[in-house]
Structure 1
Amino acid sequence: MLSKSLIFSAILLATSASVDAQSNAELHRLATVAKPIEQAVTFNLDPSKERFSGHTTIKLEVLKATQFIELNGLDYAINAAELVGKASCELRDKMLETGKVRLSCEKTLQPGRYTLTIDYTAPYNRNSVGLYKTLDNGVPYLFTQFQMSDARRAIPTFDEPEYKIPFQLTITAPDDQKVFANTPVLETKKSNGMTTHYFDKTPPLPSYLVALSVGPFEVLDVKGMSVPGNIITPQKKSNLAAYSIENTPKILKALEDYFDLPYVYKKLDQVAVPEFPFGAMENAGLVTYREDILLIDPATSTRQAQTSHVNVIAHELAHQWYGNLVTMKWWNDLWLNEAFATWMAAKITLQLFPELETNLSLSQHSAMPYDAQATTSPIRKPVITESDVTDGLGLAYSKGSAVLYMVEQWLGEAVFKQGMRNYIRKFAYKNAEAKDLWNELGKVSNKDVATVLNSFVSQASFPLLTIKLDGQNATLSQQRFVIKGQEAAAQTWHIPITLRYGKGDKTATKTILLDSKTQQIKLDFEPEWILPNDNATGYYRWDLSESQLASLISHAPNKLNERERLDLLSNVDALMESGKINANALMLTLSEFINDTHPKVAKAALTQLLSQHKQYEDDSNKLLWKKLYTTYVEPAFSRYGLKANANEPAATSEIRAALVRALAFETKHQTIITHVKKQASLYLTSPDKVDPYLARSFLQIAAYYGDAELLKSYKKVFETTNNPTQRTNLLLAMGYFGPQELQQQVLDYALSEHVTASDFNYILSGNGKGDERKALYQKWFYQHFERLKERFPPFAKSQLPFYLFSYCDADALKQAQQFFGPMQNEIEGLSKSLKQLELATNTCIMQKQRELVSVNQFLNNL
């Protein structure tokens, strides 16, 4: 028990922290002295120039007597600002450091309606945020990316999601430019080589969903939708739009059916963007995509590319209801926007395209390794700065969608759907919070949905479920899953659980809600095997006794479906990380599934087994790893071969690519390397003649063993191709060039005008392969850091330490801490990134020390 003095000190500290947090929030949030009612913006835009001018008119309401109004602003310069209403005032502007502009008046403004007008100028951004300019094959284009807080770079506006108002855009641009915005054009007027485009007023939108595009685009009509729409591409790329034109009406119709509510905006244009740091953005009526996602040729693309294409379109169109029609009040609920769209996209993709087997892509498997880290924040957490939003944002997609799927299966799909429909109708054109959705789901299900969801989204990590059997009796207990060597506070969850178990030909299921630390249940019979996560629907890990786990593994080929076998492999890997089993047991389990009947399961087992090589190779076992390739990889390669068979499953093509990479990089398989070089050369001139499943691997392997002439060829095609997929494949391959002088050339090329801010991390991807290459890359990284920092989009700067590829290197960690430490007050979120890097590195080192003997035991027994 704390002494009175310690308790008093703790209270003071807590109070001080609360005051500091409130003060910090006030610095970043707009003062609540006024709120907007609607806004009109007039732009004068010419992509050939470096700056633009704008004029905005905001109808607003002053809420209380004040001598100032705050709105958001970055980068722009105000030429004149005036407020007209009960009193008129020429306003003085002051740009604040926290993304706000304070407009001051000498007289006191009384509550009431006013009109604010601002004339301003600003530069086009060149880091893929705000209103930004990019060149595609030397041709300039303008695009916008306003989420999370970059509308303020292009428009003086109330740039917070709760301020949801109608916007009306008017854009003047050169006659030879096509111009698009959220709404249809009402009329155009030409004068002196310029055309003014008057756009319809939008329904109420938060500022982050306002969008425009300007350029000499190619435009193709999309027929069969409930509203008009186009696919809009840069020049010479519309030939790749057919798949989008075919799929978009199907996806839109499926979403309208699910919500039982038509798409509410007046048009649906989709834009292929050549420079884009995200996959896509759900701007109402003008959705933007990284061009290699929207523009693909299904005849020459992989299943992964087709899945990404369909899934991302479905994700962005799902946002038109969830996020656009109903909008979060504040960024602390961004997780739900993204979780819902991710979950919905998976549902629609599986419904319309079952052949893509998206049911075998389990989002929890990508979430849990990150979510398990002791430094990870909950996906619903307090948000003040943009770095708070971006911290763990990827987890919001994967964990959030997995949790929603678990709850949907618990409630039943029909009940969940009705709750969603009720929620969308109730809050249409408004703002809402997570609890509003939970309430609607609770009403239709008569279940305590709020408590279940809150336990998963307001806490980091996830449960580890332990099951002990005694005849027909089962004892279930839960604790926080913790990686061995890390420390974390104890937690409990409300967990929907479905067990499946069997004996002989009999199988049965048991569903419970585990809402305490321990619970006992009775099964229908004493099982031979038990699966703690039926159909892999739960967001938790599970632990069985050694004998029970062995029995489940032995029955897996005949009793578990593909989804469950994939979950079993992932779960066993997690058990090793938590110290419940050792690496030898993990690798033995993985080896059991390398010849699984489904190639996707076989690939998962193979890639997990090979990942141990990267983790555990050292001087004590360098020669032993050759036995792994001889025992498992070479026989599998002999079975699948180098060339695809007619009509073979896509999963077979995917495992072939994994085998080719493993043997080419790790054993220097000469037959493969010779074939690869020929195919890579062919791909440069005739990409449609190369197996799309192998093309990326061919390019990377050829680069690794390539020379200066090959690098020159890669650069030439990269700079001139109009095929977005070919461009991305080449970008991802250039970082693999092996000799140091070529690696240095590629690194220098990364800083050239040919590589955009959004492409930067792609070209770096191969530089972590091998200690010498990693060392050269790290040296270059530190030497050119100031230029690198300038190239990165603002939201990504806090992630710079993670570009060092050194998660298991104590010396590299120390160097990163010394280098980045002094910058922690300059870059928001950097301090947490350094803590995450430290934890990940130390955990990796400890795990290697703990498991190396066990790994060598497995290798010696091959």
Structure 2
Amino acid sequence: MLNTHQSVGTVLLMISTVSLAQDNAALHRLAPVAKPLSQTVAFNLDPKKDVFSGSTVITLEVLNETSFIEVNGLDYNIETAKLNGKQFCNLESQMLKTGKVKLSCEHSFPKGRYTLTMDYTAPYNRKSVGLYKTIDNGVPYLFSQFQMSDARRAFPVFDEPEYKIPFKITITAPEDQKVFTNTPLLKTTKSKGLVTHYFDKTLPLPSYSLAIAVGPFEVLKVPGMSVPGNLITPQNKSSLAAYSIENTPKILTALEKYFDIPYVYKKLDQVAVPEFPFGAMENAGLVTYREDILLIDPARSTQRVRIDHLNIITHELAHQWYGNLVTMKWWNDLWLNEAFATWIASKITHQLHPELESNLALLQHYAMDFDAQATTSPIQKPINTEADIMDGLWLAYSKGSAILYMVEQWLGEDVFKQGMRNYVRQYAHKNAEAKDLWSALSKVSNKEVAAVLNSFVSQASFPLLTVEQKGATLTISQQRFAIHGQTVPSQTWHIPIILRYGKGEQSATTSLLLDAQSKQVTLAFEPEWILPNANVTGYYRWQLSSENLIGLTQHATSKLNTREKLDVLDNVEALLDAGKIDTATLMTTLGHYTNDDHPEVAKTALTSLLSQYHLYKENIDQKRWAAFFATYIEPAFKHYGLTATKEEQPASSEIRAQLIEILAFETKHSEIITHAKKQALLYLSNADKVDPYLVESFLKIAAYYGSAELLKAYQQQFESTTNPSKRTHLLSAMGYFGEPALQQEMLKYALTKQVTASDLGYILAGNKQGKARKARYQKWFYNNFTSLKTKLPPFAVPRLPFYLFSRCDTSHLNQAKQFFEPMRSDIDGLEKSLQQLELATKTCVNKKQRELSSITAFLNQLS
């Protein structure tokens, strides 16, 4: 429906844009002339080789008379293609640039049921997508990663999520290889040193949920589950599987209880993958994980690592219901798959392990900084290409999860759970859309769920609530949160709000749905303090008057819980970005929390203070910063020291790591540097003797001030260790070598075969430490761009501009724009990345210009 104020020109532009979008979709979607009903695939796989062969038979229904069929395909070579049914045809194949293969017949054939038979060959991918080969400690393995749209690299397939069908897979491999896929093994046959593995037929699945693993694995049984299952690792790594084996049955049971539906697949195997571009993938019955996530030693791991381990396992197992059992119709609802799995993972992890305090990781805070940018897209948006999928995909996890949590708290946990159960039962083994879930939640709650959810998922950004108090009456208004200097359209939302307020010993809450520009609410009494986001249930920012903010700060220690204090800190920092307060106000507020009783709050306050230092350190003289360090950083270091105490909380250990890094890198603190060098050498000889919270800090500091001999020692252990966590620690540290010659040697090493495509980002990140090192890194980046582009997975290439530098230097921005200009139309998604980079850079530069006098005045008070 068109708004009546729109001009004819605007209407014509809209029609043109819609037509263009439809044409673009047609280029990438399969022609709707046929649909698959079932598919068998036979693979001939040998990890020692570089190519493989396969054959497939697709039972399909031709929907209308046609002379061609389209399937998806990339990289493989079709040797034969035949269509059998009402008519026979040898098909001519044409592989299109849009990831499709057009199979043409010399004559038309009528609608009806047919079998499409194809034989093909293909190379193993070496960029961690499709069916790919990796070498681990000299041993080759094969793994698959088919999401988003990379099953088409491994075999001819209808590679769209709506085509959800049963598959039957057969794999022939050398007899010294173990072979796994989604379903149990039915039988094997042997011939001439090869074993053919016949696997059971799958339940209906989208192609992206299929999986393959081939190699000389170590395999451990996982007892205590409702179905059989294994934990599968590369050689010499199964000793680190105990924590996963202990927790997986508990997680699966908790999910079965939540959904009130048993796990439906016939087995549950989990695979540790040494080269993997993502954290994990929820393939039905054969879940894959980056090995340093699945294989951990809890006694030698930080609390954050243990939380991530549990969260990610729960996330992937939740997808067995939401994603595999119920599947999206198209990629525009991928955000909801990931949002739901992230939300319930947080819920189950905290339920099973409350001692880890995983509920203090407030996902909305991770989302909002990015979501506030004018260039950010809604999490539910049209999808045509993989670049469209990857654009802000991570935002779907955090923003989507936060929105679902908000709605759950609004509806009530039991009501929300019943809606989810009804939805999964109704669409089991089918495809569904977001609106189907909204409908299920609305029916069970009798509330307008769609109005709330659509307002958050179909619009970018989020609301800023302004709360004005007159006695016991509050006026709450909404507007779009906007970063200062950025132009954004006006928007409104349907916002579930929970307020908490108090006076003396009294405390109360009130709830409302803000579905207009503003509303008034009368409280039970006139409060001394107001918290606009009780227990951080809402996905919004909030602004109080100066008087109310002071009142809240004065009562924070005794009246607010830890989650709420963390929200106050993050919210105040966001108000600075919006230009609603100045930097002096922010830093004064942060100073009230640096000695909070809960170290997570103290850590957050110190982190925010240090972020201001990093932003302005080159614009303000060192005398003023010396006062800053003397006021905040050195006293904190004196309090926490270099070594942990037995009873300290994990957040205290995290503060210590942050402090020793800032003091070592920025003030060249000799005691810390000497200690770090000794601890780094100790870690290389006996890793168990080094504090796991400080390992990476010690390794980075030692590298920054280290020698060629130390670099060689890091490389040798990186290449030989079988401990995934140690490998990641060394990988992260190697990017920090400070001497120019060693930095160049490390960057050269990053492009060798020892560093995989999924490892590369760890090394590149370290080169942003130090102005001179950053400049050398940028020069190397431009000189080696072709090699970087060749090495990285395709989905990572459009994001390459963000590997360059911190986004606060217009000269660097101009250099990047000039360099990437010729590639804008050749790399899908690059244009959007450059727009985001330009906006972020200009915003940062403007903020520094706007706030320099304010932070200078604040620092002057410390001198």
Separation in 2 of the partners of 1:815 and 1:663?
A: 32
Partner of 1:516: 516
Partner of 1:371: 371
Partner of 2:434: 434
Separation in 1 of the partners of 2:109 and 2:689?
A: 70
Query: Which residue identity does 2:385 align to in structure 1?
Result: T
The correspondence of residues 750-789 of structure 1 with structure 2, limited to 5 A, is 750-789=750-789
Q: Does 1:42 align with 2:42?
A: yes
Partner of 1:138: 138
SS of 2:694's partner is: helix
Q: Is the Cα contact below 8 Å between 2:765 and 2:803 reproduced in 1?
A: no
Q: Deviations over 1:271-323 (max 9, x none)?
A: 00000000000000000000000000011111011011111000000000000
Q: Is the Cα contact below 8 Å between 1:467 and 1:476 reproduced in 2?
A: yes
Partner of 2:839: 839
Q: Is the Cα contact below 8 Å between 2:677 and 2:702 reproduced in 1?
A: yes
Query: Which residue identity does 1:523 align to in structure 2?
Result: L
Query: Which residue identity does 2:576 align to in structure 1?
Result: M
Partner of 1:24: 24
Query: Which residue identity does 1:331 align to in structure 2?
Result: W
Q: Is the Cα contact below 8 Å between 2:409 and 2:537 reproduced in 1?
A: yes
Query: Which residue identity does 1:640 align to in structure 2?
Result: Y
Partner of 2:493: 493
Partner of 2:590: 590
Q: Is the Cα contact below 8 Å between 1:452 and 1:495 reproduced in 2?
A: yes
The correspondence of residues 62-211 of structure 1 with structure 2, limited to 5 A, is 62-211=62-211
Deviation at residue 550 of structure 1 after TM alignment? 0.9
Partner of 1:808: 808
The correspondence of residues 415-814 of structure 1 with structure 2, limited to 5 A, is 415-814=415-814
Structure 1 residues 5 and 653: alpha-carbon distance in aligned structure 2, compared to 1, 3 A threshold: closer
Partner of 2:336: 336
Separation in 1 of the partners of 2:619 and 2:314?
A: 49
Deviation at residue 701 of structure 1 after TM alignment? 0.8
Deviation at residue 647 of structure 1 after TM alignment? 3.2
SS of 1:171's partner is: strand
* TM-score of the aligned structures, taking structure 2 as reference length: 0.99
Q: Is the Cα contact below 8 Å between 1:806 and 1:812 reproduced in 2?
A: no
Query: Which residue identity does 2:353 align to in structure 1?
Result: F
Separation in 2 of the partners of 1:12 and 1:262?
A: 52
Separation in 1 of the partners of 2:92 and 2:329?
A: 30
SS of 2:807's partner is: coil
Separation in 2 of the partners of 1:452 and 1:145?
A: 35
Q: Deviations over 1:148-195 (max 9, x none)?
A: 000000010000000000010000000000000000000001100000
SS of 1:693's partner is: coil
The correspondence of residues 282-293 of structure 1 with structure 2, limited to 5 A, is 282-293=282-293
Separation in 2 of the partners of 1:415 and 1:353?
A: 24
Separation in 1 of the partners of 2:623 and 2:114?
A: 78
Deviation at residue 623 of structure 1 after TM alignment? 2.6
Deviation at residue 15 of structure 1 after TM alignment? 2.1
Q: Is the Cα contact below 8 Å between 1:350 and 1:358 reproduced in 2?
A: yes
Separation in 1 of the partners of 2:354 and 2:493?
A: 33
Deviation at residue 621 of structure 1 after TM alignment? 2.7
Q: Is the Cα contact below 8 Å between 2:464 and 2:480 reproduced in 1?
A: yes
Deviation at residue 648 of structure 1 after TM alignment? 2.2
Partner of 1:405: 405
Q: Is the Cα contact below 8 Å between 2:152 and 2:159 reproduced in 1?
A: yes
Deviation at residue 660 of structure 1 after TM alignment? 1.4
Residue ranges of structure 2 left out of the alignment (5+ in a row): none
Deviation at residue 635 of structure 1 after TM alignment? 1.1
Separation in 2 of the partners of 1:443 and 1:20?
A: 37
SS of 1:663's partner is: helix
SS of 1:333's partner is: helix
Deviation at residue 6 of structure 1 after TM alignment? 9.9
SS of 1:768's partner is: coil
Separation in 2 of the partners of 1:6 and 1:639?
A: 63
SS of 2:142's partner is: strand
Separation in 1 of the partners of 2:114 and 2:406?
A: 49
Partner of 1:830: 830
Query: Which residue identity does 1:854 align to in structure 2?
Result: S
SS of 1:32's partner is: coil
Deviates more, 1:161-170 or 1:643-652: 643-652
Q: Does 1:817 align with 2:817?
A: yes
Q: Deviations over 1:341-396 (max 9, x none)?
A: 00000000000011110110000000000000000000000111110000000100
Separation in 2 of the partners of 1:640 and 1:614?
A: 22
Separation in 1 of the partners of 2:536 and 2:386?
A: 34
Residue ranges of structure 1 left out of the alignment (5+ in a row): none
Partner of 2:33: 33
Deviation at residue 667 of structure 1 after TM alignment? 1.5
Separation in 1 of the partners of 2:435 and 2:629?
A: 52
Deviation at residue 618 of structure 1 after TM alignment? 2.3
* TM-score of the aligned structures, taking structure 1 as reference length: 0.99
Partner of 1:14: 14
Q: Is the Cα contact below 8 Å between 1:750 and 1:760 reproduced in 2?
A: yes
SS of 2:349's partner is: helix
Separation in 2 of the partners of 1:442 and 1:693?
A: 46
RMSD over aligned CA atoms reads 1.1
Q: Deviations over 1:395-454 (max 9, x none)?
A: 000000000000000100000000000000000000000000010000111100010000
Deviation at residue 857 of structure 1 after TM alignment? 1.1
SS of 1:698's partner is: helix
Separation in 1 of the partners of 2:5 and 2:399?
A: 42
Q: Deviations over 1:785-812 (max 9, x none)?
A: 1110001101111101111113001011
SS of 1:861's partner is: helix
Q: Deviations over 1:569-605 (max 9, x none)?
A: 0000000000010000001111110000000110000
Q: Is the Cα contact below 8 Å between 1:368 and 1:461 reproduced in 2?
A: yes
Query: Which residue identity does 1:687 align to in structure 2?
Result: A
Aligned residues: 860
Q: Deviations over 1:43-71 (max 9, x none)?
A: 00000000000000000000000000001
Q: Is the Cα contact below 8 Å between 1:621 and 1:856 reproduced in 2?
A: no
Separation in 2 of the partners of 1:481 and 1:15?
A: 30
Deviation at residue 838 of structure 1 after TM alignment? 0.3
SS of 1:692's partner is: coil
Q: Is the Cα contact below 8 Å between 2:661 and 2:697 reproduced in 1?
A: yes
Q: Does 1:272 align with 2:285?
A: no
Query: Which residue identity does 1:634 align to in structure 2?
Result: E
SS of 1:757's partner is: coil
Deviation at residue 624 of structure 1 after TM alignment? 1.2
Separation in 2 of the partners of 1:492 and 1:57?
A: 52
Q: Is the Cα contact below 8 Å between 2:37 and 2:165 reproduced in 1?
A: yes
Q: Does 1:212 align with 2:208?
A: no
Separation in 1 of the partners of 2:730 and 2:263?
A: 38
Separation in 2 of the partners of 1:244 and 1:5?
A: 59
